[in-house]
Amino acid sequence: MTDKISISTPFTLPCGAVLKNRLSKAAMTEGLGDGRNRATEGHVKLYRRWAEGGAGMLLTGNVHVDRRYLERPGNVAIDGPQSAEALAALRAYAEAGTVNNTHLWMQISHAGRQTPASVSKEPVGPSDKQLDMPGAQFGKPRALTGAEIEDVIRRFAHAATIARETGFTGVQIHGAHGYLISEFLSPDVNNRTDEWGGSLENRARLLLETVRAVRKAVGADFPVSVKLNSADFQRGGFTHEDSLKVAGWLNDEHVDLVEISGGTYEQPALTGREDMTLHPERTEKRRQSTIAREAYFLEYAADIRKVVSLPLMVTGGFRTVEGMNAALQSGATDIIGLGRPLCVDPAIAAKLLCGEARETAAYEKTLRIGPGLLGPSSSIALLRGLNGWGQQAWFCLQLLRMGRGLDPDVKLGVFKAFRDYAKNEAKAAAALER
């Protein structure tokens, strides 16, 4: 027990970088990129506001290493050589996000089979297994070749190099939430029989080779982190036992921070929800003790802490200063990740640190679409989907507002948010320059 630690305590990473406090803005998709997937003035406005809001560190939303396979049309992508204009936009983004002695880490990612059909009709993955979700949101993936996998690793290293060159103060490799690296880790999705599939050692090869390539590219003094699922919460998927072994391997690679999360698009445990699929019987439930407590993944992190010495970050469900300090003092985590609270109040970190606020506003508890809006014949799967994606849309639209220099609109209805978000994504997809 380290009972003197609190959210205001500075933290020194293994590489020597110092975070001014223990609060981090977690990665959340912004959708503010232009038609060529470059950073914009919207990123500058949004991240300056967050940097001025008091958190010790900000993690960007997905910055993709291949613009053919995005999480959504408005993502930023670093895909090959960057133009002077694109580099200048990234520098402006980094400058805004590092004011107030704030760290700004670029989350680098590849969407894999979770690339929406509006971006690519044929996404890629470790195998050709398609997402088990209602509607035609995602196409059937094509399995990557061995040469393409090697190219993915080079792309991650290239993006990390650009991040350092343009003023970002660290990178996070996204190995969670059902994106490409997470797909390789999952035996449910990865049915390869070559050196990239089969045993856990083979399934983790993409992650570990990416970590090594990124470290070589950025050097020993630059923070390199990984976002890792504690589990996929899906039968046949990446298990908690798997995560313990992979965390141990990351410890051997001298990663500076591992963020513990969980779930995929099909099982979005990261938002406190479960099962968005057509087959809910395949869901592996989270521990009841974890569901009952404030942070979704804290007990899983406590297990990982037993096998690693590297720093840990837990994101998801933290709502009170008391709960955050207790988590830090337990030793289960070193950094507290906050996501949705910063969509509602971009200055909440400063308020929590100075005592002006003792808890965050959990708007997601009241953001629901009732069955009456859909009619008695509507399927349960559709209702689940509208609620899940409607909540996601509500928070995404708040980021778009702040990117325009506006305040969050907490009176926005979730059904209207769902419709407005769909229109925004269609417009962004149409604006993509190919």
Q: 390 lies in a domain? A: no
Indicate if the pLDDT at residue 122 is higher than 60.
yes
**CATH number of residue 211's parent domain:** 3.20.20.70
Indicate if the pLDDT at residue 368 is higher than 80.
no
Indicate if the pLDDT at residue 264 is higher than 80.
no
> Do the beta carbons of residue 336 and residue 22 sit within 8 Å?
yes
pLDDT interval class at 137 (50, 70, 90): confident
Indicate if the pLDDT at residue 293 is higher than 70.
no
Which tens digit of pLDDT belongs to each residue from 311-322? Answer: 999 998 899 999
DSSP 285: P
Which tens digit of pLDDT belongs to each residue from 148-172? Answer: 999 999 999 999 999 999 999 999 9
> Do the beta carbons of residue 19 and residue 10 sit within 8 Å?
yes
Q: 1 lies in a domain? A: no
pLDDT given at position 373: 47
Q: 427 lies in a domain? A: no
First-residue to last-residue Cα distance in the chain: 54
Instruction: Give CA torsion, residues 234, 236, 239, 243, to 10 deg.
Output: -110
DSSP E strands in 82-230: the ranges are 103-109, 124-125, 142-143, 170-175, 224-229
H-helix or E-strand spanning residue 47: helix 41-51
pLDDT interval class at 337 (50, 70, 90): very high
Q: 352 lies in a domain? A: yes
Specify which residues 58 forms β-bridges with: 25, 104
> Do the beta carbons of residue 241 and residue 250 sit within 8 Å?
no
How many structural domains does the chain have?
Answer: 1
3-state secondary structure 327-376: HHHHCCCCEEEECCHHHHCCCHHHHHHHCCCCECCCHHHCCCCCHHHCCC
Instruction: Give alpha helix (H) positions in 166-269.
Output: 180-185, 200-203, 205-218, 240-252
The neighbour count for residue 246, using CB atoms within 10 Å, is: 24
346 Cβ contact list (under 8 Å, min separation 6): 49, 50, 53, 402, 408
Q: CA–CA separation, 256 vs 422, rounded Å?
A: 37
pLDDT given at position 389: 74
Indicate if the pLDDT at residue 307 is higher than 60.
yes
Per-residue burial over 111-129, b if 16 or more Cβ lie within 10 Å, else e, is: bbbbbbebbbeebbbbbeb
Which tens digit of pLDDT belongs to each residue from 383-427? Answer: 555 666 788 899 999 999 999 999 999 999 888 998 999 999 999
Indicate if the pLDDT at residue 379 is higher than 60.
no
pLDDT interval class at 290 (50, 70, 90): very low
Least confident of 104-108, 259-263, 302-306: 259-263
Report the mean per-residue pLDDT for the chain: 89
Indicate if the pLDDT at residue 196 is higher than 50.
yes
Q: 424 lies in a domain? A: no
Indicate if the pLDDT at residue 284 is higher than 70.
no
- Residues of the domain holding 21: 11-365
Q: 86 lies in a domain? A: yes
Q: CA–CA separation, 287 vs 303, rounded Å?
A: 13
pLDDT given at position 370: 53
195 Cβ contact list (under 8 Å, min separation 6): 146, 202, 205
Q: What six digits make up the tokens of 252?
A: 């051997």
Indicate if the pLDDT at residue 89 is higher than 90.
yes
Q: In terms of Cα–Cα distance, which of 238, 103, 222, 98 is closest to 179?
A: 238
pLDDT given at position 194: 97
pLDDT given at position 386: 62
Indicate if the pLDDT at residue 278 is higher than 50.
no
Least confident of 136-150, 323-337, 369-383: 369-383
pLDDT given at position 235: 73
- In percent, the amount of the chain with pLDDT more than 90 equals 77
Instruction: Give phi and psi for 359, each to the nearest 5.
Output: -155, 165
pLDDT given at position 375: 47
Q: 31 lies in a domain? A: yes
Q: CA–CA separation, 237 vs 185, rounded Å?
A: 8
Tell me the pTM: 0.90
